[in-house]
């Protein structure tokens, strides 16, 4: 966390610009967005460069999927907490995300309500999943 602002430092990895902008708007009051990227390879590079507290990844990213990003960061940047923000609610996707070390799983349709809760949970060391995918 940024010692000056006490706001979590976040990277948004999302290939749809409108969703990227909407996510940034939801986070603006409580988080510092240090980078936005539109593909998985850029997400991995940005995490290495910016050392965020949290990286938000979609499962369906060009060049490297969110699963690839999570796996690479688990090995190369283990202090970066991975939060999936995706439209995929299938149980297999949710399970795979957490197997790869994800700290939260938020459905895109619930970003406004669930993402702030997920960020708070992850920053205090808990895990979070959107109600729509909760077991």
Dihedral pair phi/psi, residue 41, rounded to 5°: -65, -40
Q: pTM of the entire structure?
A: 0.94
Summarised one tens digit per residue, pLDDT across range 72-127 is 999 999 999 999 999 999 999 999 999 999 999 999 999 999 999 999 999 999 99
Dihedral pair phi/psi, residue 133, rounded to 5°: -115, 5
CATH number corresponding to 9-133: 3.40.50.2300
Taking the domains of the chain in order of start, what are their residue ranges? 9-133
3-state secondary structure of 35: strand
**C-beta separation of 82 from 75 below 8 A:** no
């Amino acid at each position: 966390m940024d010692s000056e602002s006490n706001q979590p430092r976040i990277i948004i990895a999302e290939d749809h610009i409108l969703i990227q902008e909407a996510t940034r708007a939801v986070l603006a009051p409580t988080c510092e967005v240090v980078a936005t990227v539109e593909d998985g390879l850029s997400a991995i590079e940005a995490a290495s460069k910016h050392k965020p507290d949290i990286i938000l990844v979609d499962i369906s990213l060009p060049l490297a999927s969110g699963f690839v990003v999570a796996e690479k960061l688990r090995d190369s940047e283990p202090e970066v907490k991975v939060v999936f923000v995706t439209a995929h609610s299938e149980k297999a996707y949710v399970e795979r995300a957490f197997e790869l070390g994800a700290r939260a799983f938020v459905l895109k349709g619930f970003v406004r309500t669930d993402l702030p809760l997920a960020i708070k949970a992850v920053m205090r060391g808990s895990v979070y999943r959107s109600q729509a995918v909760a077991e």
